[in-house]
Chain A
Amino acid sequence: MIRFFHVTKTYPNNRIALNDVTFEMEQGELLFVVGPSGAGKSTLLRMIYMEEMPTSGQVIVGRFLSTTISRDKIPLLRRQVGTVFQDFRLMQDRTAFENVALSLRIAGRFSGTELKQKVMNALGKVGLCHRRNSVPRELSGGEQQRVAIARAIVNSPIVLLADEPTGNLDAGVGGEIIQLICDVNAGGTAVVVATHDENVPRKLGSRIARIREGRLSELGRGLLAGVIGGGPIGGGETIGGEASNAGKSRGGALI
């Protein structure tokens, strides 16, 4: 469902953000991309929703190819990709309901009643129906991230991307957010979480890809990652593995 094929990203200042990255993940998988700040995690995520394009190589997400996608089609891809960020990125001048409804209004396929039902359903999944009329500044950090998750899932995306989703939250609330993300994955949605904290995926036993200086250098599964991964796999590293415990389908295959 998501494939990176020898993807390299070089910025105009010649800084290499991703270096010959190849991996694949299937529907329903849960993948943690771990690594220090500036390692290339966010660039990798931005390539999935095609905010960034590879300098060389190819990214495939569902039926969209980075090499052939036109500017007009990028919004269609993004409607199938839910995104959650460290800084929540909610519209400050709109209520929680309106923030979540935005994804549906943009998709433009829903009548007023349908829209309301879907928004309330999404807010229900994150436990925030009662705060639907609050604007972000009236919500705690954890609540804001829940609204962001509701916005990301309301349109039933094929994949949910979370870029340091707990970075601005204390440990307790962060744990709740991770649990919520796992719940989304349990519902069959593929999830990619970028985090600098390796402990989270290790405890969950999820599939891990380690990224350092733009190279995907290690792979494995949660508790065993340190044993199976065992270090760099060489140029054009490929990561694969079985499906996550939470996910429904088969794990990523080698390309």
Chain B
Amino acid sequence: MPAFTGEILYFLRETLQGLGRHKSLSAATLVSNVATFLVFGVILLVTANVRFVAKQLEERKGIVAFIEEGVSQERIVYLESEIEKLPQVETVTLVSKEEALEGFRKSLGKEEILDALGTNPLPASFEVKLRQKQRSVQELEEVANFIGGLRGIEEVSFGGEWTLSLDRILRTLTIFNIVIGSIVGLAIAFIVANTVRLTVLARKESIEIMKVVGATRRFIRIPFLLEGILHTSVSALVALGMLYLGFRAASHRLPDVAFLSPLLVTLFVAVGLGAGIVGTHFSINEVLREKRD
């Protein structure tokens, strides 16, 4: 067997044997890393879902303009076209008196009560949805005021305080995501890197021996680096698997939640791998440093 192939086989064998020779250390590292990744995963999952719910709520932001009783069909068509002309408006949907009643019936569930009324008291309305980037309170208010000023519109509703609160919540959430996400990401990377560091330092004596018998830094580093990568990627995948199983179990009770997107899964594994590689790199450097005056 050529010496070069022998070296590659040596690195792979060393990596696997390194895990086997230090079973308890490997197990402790794995458990610690899985637990850390799990915490990271839960935080990511909660954050992603809070944002998901917030986005859904934002989708529901809009204006309802009630049409006066007895307005002609021509006037209604004219009003619709006037509202559609506004640059902030994405869609305008006409909800007739009948459709409003039908919707109310469905939401109420007890049709007998409405039947007892005999007449339909609900007005027809326009449901106006603004473009995604033009849904601030100011813009909603501006459009609502314009529509409210049109002849034939009785009343306009746009959520007011509720919209203002949602905006505030969304802004706070975004800042929270960035700040807490960065802190947690760094903390996770630090814990994983430090765990890997301990596995390297536990074998400091072996590294010293290798140095004395003439091992290059590369020769010492590669098996440790491979081991670090293996440790963290297996830990990340195990944590991801556990997170998914936990999510599946909980999703029966929380039907509107979503699992991590492919992008977040990639981020999750990348943070793990990055921490593993950085942790191994620095701890080996610490041990390999030559004393020079």
Contact = CB atoms under 8 A, between A and B. Distances in A.
A118 to B, nearest CB: 13
Nearest to A76: B214
A74 B213 contact: no
A78 B213 contact: yes
B292 A53 contact: yes
A53 B214 contact: no
Contacts of B219: 75, 106, 108
A51 B291 contact: yes
Contacts of B7: 105, 108
Interface in B158-214: 205-206, 208-214
A108 to B, nearest CB: 6
A54 B22 CA distance: 38
Interface in A38-82: 49, 51-55, 71-72, 74-79
A151 interface: yes
Contacts of B2: 111
B1 interface: yes
Nearest to A109: B3
Most B Cβ at <10 Å: residue of A55, A74, A76, A106: A106
Contact of A49 (B3, B212, B217): B212
B244 to A, nearest CB: 36
B292 A110 contact: no
B216 interface: yes
A219 to B, nearest CB: 27
Contact of A72 (B21, B210, B215, B216): B216
B293 interface: yes
Contacts of B216: 72, 75, 106
Contacts of A234: none
The prevalent SS among residues of A at the interface is loop
Contacts of A155: 214
A83 B1 CA distance: 29
Contacts of B282: none
A45 to B, nearest CB: 11
Contacts of B210: 102, 106
Nearest to B10: A105
B6 interface: yes
Nearest to B290: A71
Nearest to B20: A93
Interface in B1-32: 1-3, 6-7, 10, 21-22
Nearest to A49: B212
Contacts of A89: 205, 208-209, 212
Interface string A81-100: 00100000111010000000
A153 B104 CA distance: 93
A52 B291 CA distance: 6
B212 A106 contact: no
Contacts, number: 72
A51 B6 CA distance: 28
A106 B213 contact: yes
A199 B273 CA distance: 58
A231 B293 CA distance: 31
Contacts of A52: 291
Nearest to B21: A93
Contacts of A55: 293
A101 to B, nearest CB: 10
B15 to A, nearest CB: 14
A77 B212 CA distance: 10
A99 B292 CA distance: 28
Interface in B275-293: 290-293
B293 A54 contact: yes
Interface string A193-237: 000000000000000000000000000000000000000000000
Given A53-B291, A55-B293, A71-B290, A151 B1 contact: no
A27 interface: no
A255 interface: no
Most A Cβ at <10 Å: residue of B1, B3, B21, B219: B3
A36 B96 CA distance: 106
Interface string A162-188: 000000000000000000000000000
Contacts of B211: 51, 75, 78
A165 to B, nearest CB: 14
A107 interface: yes
Given A93-B22, A108-B3, A108-B7, A51 B292 contact: no
Contacts of A51: 211-212, 290-291
Contacts of A90: 209
A76 B216 CA distance: 8
Contacts of B290: 51, 71, 74
Given A9-B293, A53-B292, A111-B3, 16 more contacts: A55-B293, A72-B216, A75-B211, A75-B216, A78-B212, A79-B213, A102-B209, A103-B213, A105-B7, A106-B214, A108-B3, A108-B6, A108-B219, A110-B6, A112-B1, A155-B214
8 contacts: A71-B290, A102-B209, A102-B213, A103-B213, A106-B219, A108-B219, A109-B3, A111-B1
